[in-house]
Amino acid sequence: MTLSFMFRLLSACAIFLLMPLRGANSVYVPVKEVASLRGIDVSHHQKQIEWDSLAAREPVDFAFVKATEGHDFVDSLFCLNWQELRRLGIRRGAYHFFRAYGCGDEQATHFLSLVEMETGDLAPVLDIEVLDGIAPEVMIQEAKIWLSRVEAQLGIKPIIYTNQHFFEKYLADHFDGYPLWIARYSDEKPSLSNGRQWDIWQFSNEGCVEGICKKVDLNVFPGTPEMLERLCWFPEQLPAAAQP
Which of 69, 84, 118, 129 is the catalytic position?
129
Rounded Cα gap, residues 228 and 91, in angstroms? 10
Q: Locate the DSSP E strands across the chain.
A: 37-42, 62-69, 73-74, 91-97, 125-127, 159-163, 180-183, 200-207, 216-221
Contact 213, 46 (CB under 8 A): yes
In the three-class reduction of DSSP (H, G, I as helix; E, B as strand; rest coil), residue 60 is classed as coil
CA distances from 202 to 16, 49, 205, 210 (A): 18, 20, 8, 19
C-alpha R_g of the chain: 18
Taking the CB of residue 165, how many other CB atoms lie within 10 A of it? 11
Burial of 80 (0-12, 13-18, 19+ CB in 10 A): middle
Q: Which of 109, 117, 200, 194 is nearest to 155 (CA)?
A: 117
Q: Is residue 129 annotated as part of the catalytic site, yes or no?
A: yes
Taking the CB of residue 83, how many other CB atoms lie within 10 A of it? 12
Instruction: Name the DSSP letter for residue 131.
Output: -
By annotation, the residues acting in catalysis are: 129
